[in-house]
Amino acid sequence: MRRLRQFAADFGWPRIIIFFFLVALFFAAPLVGVRVDASLSDVFNRFGQNAFFVLALVPMIQSGCGLNFGLSLGIIAGLLGATLSVQLGLHGAVGFAGALVLSAPFAIIFGWLYGKLLNKVKGEEMTIAMYVGFAGVMFMCIMWLLLPYTAPDMIWGYAGHGLRTTISVENYWIHILNDFLEIRIGPFFRFPTGEILFAAFGAWLMWLFLRTKTGTAMTAVGSNPDYARASGISVDKMRTISVVISTLLGAAGIIVYQQSFGFIQLYNAPLAMPFTAIAAILIGGASVKKASMLNVVVGTFLFQGLLTMTPSVINSWLQTDMSEVVRIVVSNGIIIYALTRKTKVSK
């Protein structure tokens, strides 16, 4: 009994509550006419879609930079890579890889500059990150209109220039990961094996990285900066590296997201994405100062599960579309809950 209670305390009551709530929703689903296999399929799909974003938050949390509200910058780098890939007419696996490769230089530059900025404002990173992210997205809105893209699939037909708000990747690299080794059970259940494998691969790499010399140095900088400094580690350098990695993962994340979602979303779309990632990792048990792979996996699964199941069950039950309201309340409620906890370290 005591072991059980200890486990509960470690795991965190909120996570347990949400886990049982989610299970309850899965049980309730067939009672209100929602197919469990379709829902599970949805959840796995969204898990794969979002896993990289959540993973991207880990380096900066570990290095003490807080929650990366400026993930939008990484997303923008990814968008640049994706649009360039489409512009160059790259298809299939080449297109996907191309997007990743093309976004990398942008991500590194953005991350480096962003990291330098954050180093100058230690202590107030989160709010500044938010607004730098917003300003960046707005700046890119101007850029999307001005940059000399020419591929007819992407630009406004009427005006002749300027990128559209959403660009379909149907002819390029849609579902390139999802369909790889896809498992189908029945007409409703599709398990996007490729996507999940890719996400698992990313998580594994991160896990390895955190055990390298640089990785441990990064963690040291976050948990005990004075000790780190005394050991000769450059705090600023580690922080900048963490920001660059975070931005790179954000870029990769949006590309993975796009191949699953089917569209490249420009303009205002990146504004909301950091928040969903942050909610996910916080519900996974991470704190502002510490995050692990378990947090990422559990958090993404629980959060996306919640976001998928709650609206669909409630909608079917009440016969009305309340999905948006539910989404807002749930995701933000979780973030607030996490922000109001005393910083306790959880696995």
Partner 1 sequence: MSGTVLDPKVKTRRLLVRLGLLLVYVGVIALVFTFGKGHTLILDNKDSDDGSVKAIESLSVSVDGQDPLDLAAGERDQAKVQGQGHRVEVTVKDGQKVERRFTVPLAEDILLLSLPRLLAGQPAVTVFVPLDVAAPAEDQEEGNSNAFTSPSAPAEPAVPGAPAKPPAP
Partner 2 sequence: MSGQRSLGRFLRENAVILLFLIVTVLAIRPSGLSLVYIGQEMITRLGRDSFLVLALLLPIYAGMGLNFGMTLGAMAGQFGLILAVNYNLLGVCGLVFAALVSLPVSLLMGYICGVVLNKAKGREMVTGYILAFFVNGVYQFVVLYLMGSVIPVRSKAIVLSRGYGIRNTLNLDGVRQTLDNLLPLRVGPFVLPILTFLVIAALCVFIIWFKKTKLGQDMRAVGYDMHVAESAGVPVDRTRIIAIIISTVLATIGQIIFLQNMGNMATYNAHDQTSFFAVAAILVGGASVKKATIPNVFIGVCLLHVLFVVSPGAGQKLFGEAMIGEYFRQFIGYGVIALSLVLYAWRSRREAERLREGLRGGAAEGGGK
- Write the CA distances from 247 to 241, 252, 253, integer angstroms: 10, 9, 9
Task: Based on the shown chain and the rule CB under 8 A, indicate whether residue 227 belongs to the binding site for partner 1.
Answer: no
Rg (CA), the chain: 20
Of 235, 248, 273, 297, the residue at the interface with partner 2 (CB under 8 A) is 235
Of 25, 34, 55, 132, the residue at the interface with partner 2 (CB under 8 A) is 132
Task: Based on the shown chain and the rule CB under 8 A, indicate whether residue 258 belongs to the binding site for partner 1.
Answer: no
Structure token pair of residue 135: 């300003």
User: What per-residue string of b and e applies to 213-227 under the rule 16 or more CB within 10 Å gives b?
Assistant: ebbebbbbbbeebee
**Which residue, 94, 100, 83, is CA-closest to 168?**
83
Of 10, 37, 124, 170, the residue at the interface with partner 2 (CB under 8 A) is 124
Task: Based on the shown chain and the rule CB under 8 A, indicate whether residue 26 belongs to the binding site for partner 1.
Answer: no
Task: Based on the shown chain and the rule CB under 8 A, indicate whether residue 127 belongs to the binding site for partner 1.
Answer: no
List of E strands, the chain: 166-168, 183-185, 189-191, 263-265
Question: Which lies closer to partner 2 via its Cβ, residue 1 or residue 230?
Answer: 230
Of 27, 139, 156, 337, the residue at the interface with partner 1 (CB under 8 A) is 156
Give least dist CB 62 to partner 2, A: 18
> For every residue of 118-187, which 3-state class applies, written as one string?
HHHCCCCHHHHHHHHHHHHHHHHHHHHHHCCCCCCCCECCCCCCCECCEEECCCCCCCCCCCCCCEEECC
Instruction: Say how far residue 66 (Cα) sits from the centre of its chain.
Output: 15
Question: Which lies closer to partner 2 via its Cβ, residue 182 or residue 236?
Answer: 236
Task: Based on the shown chain and the rule CB under 8 A, indicate whether residue 318 belongs to the binding site for partner 1.
Answer: no
Interaction site with partner 2 (CB under 8 A): 67, 69, 117, 120-124, 126-128, 130-132, 134-135, 138-139, 141-142, 145-146, 162, 226, 229, 232, 234-236, 275, 288, 320, 322, 324-329, 332-333, 335-336, 339-340
Interaction site with partner 1 (CB under 8 A): 134, 156, 159, 162, 165, 267-268, 271-272, 275-276, 321, 324-325, 327-328, 331-332, 335
